[in-house]
Amino acid sequence: MAQQDVMIDVQGLGVSFGHGSARVDAVRDVSFQVARGCSYGLVGESGSGKSTVLKALCGLYPLQGGSIAIDGRACIGRRNLDFYRQVQMVFQDPYGSLHPRHTVDRVLREPITIHKLERAESRIREMLVDVGLGPDFRFRYSHQLSGGQRQRVAIARALILKPKILLLDEPTSALDVSVQAEMLNLLHRLREKYDLTYILVSHDLAVVAHMCDRLGVMVNGRMVETLSDVSLLNGQATHPYTRQLINACHGYDRKMIDGFVRYE
């Protein structure tokens, strides 16, 4: 990958919690690159470290080792406002990520105020249309919205700053199955419209295959395999854990469950 095409560059990333005998190495020596305008998936079971990688990227967790560079600039220490103009995150839980006493208008206006941007009114109207809600939702509270509508508001809040990178932490897992496809299609359209670079965390290989150009498979804080979407769909995974994940996507099978192996 040519260096000028690299939007996200993660090398030897390490994240730990606790000290001494209580220390937990949540992420260990994880490296990957994401090209400008592409989508990269991090997949693995709960506790594999994939969400921790996202939170380290956006500065919520300190690094114990390695480096992160965004658009050629090293990310060291606390992130500043310029960083958050470029990088935004959409969290898993649409019920917990919106303030219950704030209207949609206030939710979307807050980042505009913090970053001292102009055209607040037109930005809010434009973004509500872009995420498929429209102006009728502007002065509603979160309890007046469905789960899918709340997640659309969360996406609008992330995009209202016109960032270059969107970090997506299981953005559809808390939604009804009937709504998940709509949300994935929305994210695909927004990526094309705004030329966004995505990192998508999911435990669902089908979601990652639909959304991502490349993916990394994580187990116990380590990345054990990287694949293109074509290689995944063609069954070219080489690591036994990845093959186990693929088999699990085919539905419940007693023989497969009995043969399940936990990788350390």
What would the pLDDT profile of 89-100 be if each residue is shown by its tens digit? 998 887 788 888
pTM beyond 0.85: yes
Specify the range with the lowest mean pLDDT, choosing from 65-69, 84-88, 202-206: 202-206
Instruction: Determine the Cα–Cα distance for residues 178 and 214; give it in Å rounded to an integer.
Output: 26
**Does residue 132 sit in helix, strand or coil?**
coil
For 30-39, 127-136, 170-179, which range has the lowest pLDDT when averaged over its residues?
170-179
Q: How confident is the model at residue 53 (pLDDT cuts 50, 70, 90)?
A: very high
Residue 252 has pLDDT above 70, yes or no: no
For position 172, what pLDDT does the model report?
A: 85
Residue entry with tokens 């769909």: 233
> Among 190, 188, 164, 161, which Cα is nearest to 72's?
164
Q: How many CB atoms lie within 10 A of CB 162?
A: 13
Kindly report, residue by residue over 156-210, the tens digit of the pLDDT: 999 999 999 999 999 888 788 888 889 999 999 999 999 999 999 998 888 888 8
Domain covering 3-258 assigned CATH 3.40.50.300 in the classification: yes
Residue type, 117: L
In angstroms, how far is the first alpha carbon of the chain from the final one?
Answer: 31
How long is the chain? Answer: 264
Q: How confident is the model at residue 263 (pLDDT cuts 50, 70, 90)?
A: low
Read off the pLDDT of residues 133-162 as tens digits, 9 standing for 90 and up.
988 999 999 999 998 999 999 999 999 999
